[in-house]
A and B are shown apart, each in its own frame.
Chain A
Amino acid sequence: MPKLTVDGVEVEVPAGSTLLQACEAAGAEVPRFCYHDRLSIAGNCRMCLVEVEKAPKPVASCAFPAGDGQVVHTKSELARKAQKGTMEFLLINHPLDCPICDQGGECDLQDQAMGYGYHSTRYTENKRAVADKHMGPLVKTIMTRCIHCTRCVRFSTEIAGVTDMGMLNRGENAEITTYLEKALDSELSANVIDLCPVGALTSKPYAFVARPWELKKTETVDVMDAVGSNIRVDARGSEVLRVLPRLHEDINEEWISDKTRYACDGLKRQRLDRPYVRGADGKLKPASWDQAFATIASNVKEVSGKQMAAIAGDMVDAESMFALKSLMTALGSPNTDCRQDGTKLQAGARAGYIFNTTIAGIERADALLIVGSNPRWEAALVNARIRKTWMRKPIKIGVVGERLDLTYDYDYLGAGPQTLAEIASGEHAFTQVLKDAKAPMLIVGQGALSRADGEAVLATCQAIAEQTGMVYDESRTETPGEDGAEPTVTVTPAWNGFNVLHTAAARVAGLDLGFVPGEGGKDVEAILKAAKSGGVKFLYLLAADEIEAKAFPNCFVVYQGHHGDIGAQAADVVLPGAAYTEKDGLYVNTEGRVQLGVGAAFPPGEARADWKILRALSNVLGQTLPYDTLEDLRMALNKAHPVFTGLDVTESADWSAFVEMSLTDGKMDDTVPFASPIENFYMTDPISRSSATMAACTEDFVVPKRKAAAS
């Protein structure tokens, strides 16, 4: 632990720290461009020069190890002069186009030029100009502004795992580009926009849209997948203009996927902004809330509880699901289900349906089995975490399912259930790999669980976890000290390597609050079948958009949601709800972490927050729900299901409850290989399906691959 003095402050930093980290620890601000604490050190911008006593010249603090006894000055005359000199060099070729630059107002170069630059330039020669590069539908380039920090190159190579970006030529001619100017084919590509310290890489869909100081910034969580990435939603008036990542070390670090970032233009299209009622001619017609409610009430009157059913969608907040569940129970219906994709996960034992290891916990693993999942598309940031682990330490990864480019090396074990059965029975070599590992883990995806034999797959995964020691409690081993010295105690913290990877943001909450069939109730498959045959006469779709959209002639369907997508097409009454950016609500991510989403804008037109709609409807149906405010509702939810009480925590779930749960001992279907449920990363839900940006990405990244696969 070296001890050093920075600007007169003495600090002690962990061995291996850089001088820059030591300066930060001492509270000194050092300017920088190329240094980024999640990327490798490049040391090529020279902005971080500081004075170190006895060193012959200023040193680049980001690339210099902190040593014992160093005396560092970050604000001495020499350091200042060095920093100002570097800034002057950087500005030699940087255009003075801040007024038309989208980075303006949130530009590191702008800020640091104010703090560490001269007031005017001494350079009168021509500046260089660089041709812009094509980088796809998301990243706009103005390469003359580039200062060659190579953050973008390091991000794409190290974090995204797509080595197509680089710096060509050298010196004054250096240019950042992608190989043959192909768009960067990564789900995380747009993070380079945040990383670029200048305006060289900016957001294409957001080009010339707004200045940062015009925006209202709301900190909330993402619902495009079940990761629960922390985001900031920037809105002007009621229009969401952009989505940016927010730091959460345990979930998304400081990255977000391109869908999280860019699906937001889908919030403006295909929106339901008023209630609709299907007329006698079979067409949906605009109606008032009263008319819509009255129509529902008159249709419900004759229907018994058993003939009613409700399905909750993939992006619904927990409160609305709880309200709907309560309403259905009050109406006497056990037919509720939140598992649109038909996954065979069961409510009850939490350890059996969450990502027990936690996302940050992946970094502890030393062996990983992926079953029927494409984490790159199902949860891009979980995949980034796996890659991070793989980059930093030895980890053996095996895949059962599709053979895909996951950005890390793995052993391809097999395509389907047979391989999985072999691993479970110990016939497969990978069983031993898992057994030998200190912290083995398994990820099973919805592609494997939503099949007809999903329960058998789940049981097999459970068996593998049991047999290979994937779950253990904290243990202490004492090594007696020699010659009467204190014994050394090593504590191995508890570990649960069994993980279910969800794709739907609402799913874990739905299972937590029991939005599943009650006693004798029907599940999604049975509900839909009964709706067609007439067994179910009243069907409530709470933003359920992934179901088959055929009309149900003998069933009265109410759709409540925010987009005129698949669900609304089948409905007799459409109630306009709010999207995730327009309402407050709780979401539980795949780890079982409860997070609070905060509305950033108002729902369009007459649309309302979903719980309010349900509360109003319950009143009309004569089963008034006992809460008048969201706080009351949340209190009732917490009381009924205490897991929702703790925000942003991951509590370890009771494994034995899952083991004791009776799962089928049926066989898996060998003939069908596992496949990921996601066919197109960019379009998975009503919002991203309505987004023009996501459509452009599909065109650029997915369609060519499909064509190639077809030919």
Chain B
Amino acid sequence: MSGKHIADDSLQPESFEFSAESEAKITTILAKYPEPRKASAVMPLLDLAQRQHDNWIPMAAIDVIAARLGMARIRVLEVATFYTMYNLEPVGAWYLQACTTTPCWLRGSNEMMRAIKDTLGLDNHQRTEDGRFTLLEVECLGACCNAPILQVNDDFYEDLDYDSTVSLIESLKKGEAPSVGSVKGRQGSMSKDGPTSLVSLKDKDGVPAWFQDQAASVGGDD
């Protein structure tokens, strides 16, 4: 393992500027913090810069953000290198973040990784030669109940195994993103064989009788 790699000078743009769209968001973000505490906005601003700039943050943007928030440049860079979510060098248009933390590993993330290696030839931190895919191993993505998880850009694909990972990647290669969520078609985090708990409370329509009266007043669950 090594620290985060910062793109070489040859790849760094001369300058960076927030787009008008980002500027509008910055105004909202800054409004959340009192003026002397505006450094708190460093994380959302880094995120904005990354979204605006092909999913990676150039050093010029670090300077811009530092000046904007009255911080030392090194403080901004510290934050940008601390979190895996920030990229400091170009990544592929399909940016894969594979979870290999214990729950995902117990549920077969090794197989998922093997599929990625077999289809794309990628190990951790690598980018394909055509530049379209980048792989990063990450820690728990917070969706363990549907482990293992592969995050593609902003979306989660769940319940992967070797074969489903291969077919997911094949469609990504074609430029198609299959519908997100469980590849096994389970609903939410429900057991893959359908509901296993609270079943006795259900009537024929799948709604507990006692709930019907309350639903309107209390509002549904999430």
Contact = CB atoms under 8 A, between A and B. Distances in A.
B158 to A, nearest CB: 27
Contacts of A169: 3-4, 81-82
A179 B77 contact: yes
A27 to B, nearest CB: 39
Contacts of B193: none
B11 to A, nearest CB: 15
A616 B154 CA distance: 87
B1 A164 contact: no
A163 interface: yes
A168 B81 contact: yes
B2 interface: yes
Contact of B3 (A157, A163, A173, A179): A173
A70 B120 CA distance: 60
Interface of B: 1-4, 59, 72-75, 77-78, 81-82
A119 to B, nearest CB: 30
A173 B3 CA distance: 5
B73, B74, B77, B78 — most chain A CB neighbours (10 Å)? B74
A163 B74 contact: yes
30 contacts: A157-B72, A163-B72, A163-B74, A163-B75, A164-B72, A164-B73, A164-B74, A165-B74, A166-B72, A166-B75, A166-B78, A168-B4, A168-B78, A168-B81, A168-B82, A169-B3, A169-B4, A169-B82, A170-B81, A170-B82, A172-B1, A173-B2, A173-B3, A173-B4, A174-B3, A178-B74, A179-B72, A179-B73, A179-B74, A180-B59
Contacts of B78: 166-168
B75 A168 contact: no
Nearest 9 CB-CB pairings of A with B? A163-B72, A166-B74, A169-B3, A173-B3, A168-B81, A179-B74, A166-B78, A169-B81, A170-B82
B43 to A, nearest CB: 14
Grouping DSSP codes into helix (H, G, I), strand (E, B) and loop, the A interface class, with mixed when no group exceeds half, is mixed
Nearest to B4: A169
A685 interface: no
A167 B59 CA distance: 16
Nearest to A175: B3
Contacts of B74: 163-166, 178-179
Contacts of A167: 78
A157 B77 CA distance: 15
A178 B73 CA distance: 10
A611 B116 CA distance: 82
A168 B1 CA distance: 14
Contacts of B77: 166, 168, 179
A179 B72 CA distance: 10
A84 B1 CA distance: 27
Given A164-B74, A169-B81, 7 more contacts: A157-B72, A163-B72, A164-B72, A164-B73, A166-B78, A167-B78, A169-B3
Contacts of A170: 81-82
Contacts of A173: 1-4
Interface string A57-94: 00000000000000000000000000000000000000
Interface of A: 157, 163-170, 172-175, 178-180
Nearest to B72: A163
B30 to A, nearest CB: 21
A161 to B, nearest CB: 11
A30 B46 CA distance: 41
Nearest to A177: B74
A172 B72 CA distance: 24
Nearest to B62: A179
Contacts of A163: 72, 74-75
A108 B127 CA distance: 43
B55 to A, nearest CB: 20
A672 B37 CA distance: 42
Nearest to B81: A168
A126 B152 CA distance: 33
Nearest to A172: B1
Nearest to A170: B82
Nearest to B73: A179
A169 B6 CA distance: 11
B59, B75, B77, B81 — most chain A CB neighbours (10 Å)? B81
Contacts of B73: 164, 179
Nearest to A157: B72
Nearest to A168: B81
A224 B75 CA distance: 34
Contacts of A180: 59
A175 B1 CA distance: 13
Contacts of A179: 72-74, 77
Contacts of A165: 74
A23 B153 CA distance: 52
Contacts of B3: 168-169, 173-175
Nearest to A169: B3
B78 to A, nearest CB: 5
A149 B113 CA distance: 36
Contacts of A164: 72-74
Contacts of B75: 163, 166
A165 B74 CA distance: 7
Nearest to A173: B3
Contacts of A178: 74
A178 B82 CA distance: 16
Nearest to A130: B3
Contacts of B81: 168-170
A157, A168, A174 — most chain B CB neighbours (10 Å)? A168
A391 B82 CA distance: 28
B118 to A, nearest CB: 28
B157 to A, nearest CB: 27
A164, A165, A169, A175 — most chain B CB neighbours (10 Å)? A169
B133 to A, nearest CB: 23
A167 B75 CA distance: 9
Nearest to A129: B2
Contacts of A172: 1
A670 to B, nearest CB: 37
A458 B73 CA distance: 42
